Amino acid sequence: MGLVLITLIFGRGRWLEWPRPGANDPFPPHIAGSARPIDGDSLWVAGSEVRLEGVDAPEALQTCRRDGALWECGTEASAALSRLIGGEAVSCDVSGRDVYGRLLGRCRAGDRDLNAQMVSDGMAVAYGGYWREEREAKSMKRGLWASEFQEPRLWRQEKNKNMGR
């Protein structure tokens, strides 16, 4: 019983809203307010969870290899998003919800496009958008591109497979 309750309350490393919105639930076209990162490609904005649309950043526990040594690229991606927000209010244009019910948004802090900048800085990969920014980051060996790394979606698939999901 206890494990079931914990699973219902806590899922995928995030506190769940009760009841959590579904992928087909309505969504606001715009959301703005104070923000804090959850990881490198999602954040809380004015109390709602927003996934940065078109990008995929390393997961919190994901590590990469740079200059022969492991580095916590997932932790660094989250820190990079925090630096980009810089304590400013964030505004997001919302296009829908993902399969977990999170809002999908293109977000800004001041004049900074958070989605594009995370990819341009090499701290996230393009995932349905931002291909130009990824090519530039890759050619300049920024962030992840200066290391050996597994695409975040492949890392998640492998982790889930190893956990029997």
In whole angstroms, what is the distance from residue 77 CA to residue 122 CA? 9
Q: Is residue 66 part of a domain?
A: yes
Q: What is the 3-state secondary structure (H, E, C) of 92-135?
A: EEEEEECCCCCEEEEEEECCEEHHHHHHHCCCCEECCCCHHHHH
Query: Which stretches of the chain drop beneath a pLDDT of 70?
Result: 1-19, 163-165
Per-residue CA distances from 128 to 55, 56, 86, 125 (Å): 7, 9, 26, 10
Identify the pLDDT of residue 25: 73
Tell me the CATH number at 108.
2.40.50.90
Q: What is the per-residue pLDDT across 82-109, written as a single tens digit (0 to 9) for each?
A: 999 999 999 999 999 999 999 999 999 9
The most distant pair of C-alpha atoms in the chain lies apart, rounded to whole Å, by 52
Residue 3 placed within a domain: no
Query: Does residue 7 lie within any of the structural domains?
Result: no
Nearest one of 124, 104, 131, 142 to 59, comparing CA atoms: 124
Which domain, by its residues, includes 67? 27-162
12 within a domain of the structure (yes/no):
no
pTM score, two decimals?
0.84
Would residue 17 count as lying in a domain? no
Burial 101-114 (b: 16+ CB within 10 A, else e): bbbbbbbbbeeebb
Domain count, the chain: 1
Q: Is residue 96 part of a domain?
A: yes
Domain contains 80: yes
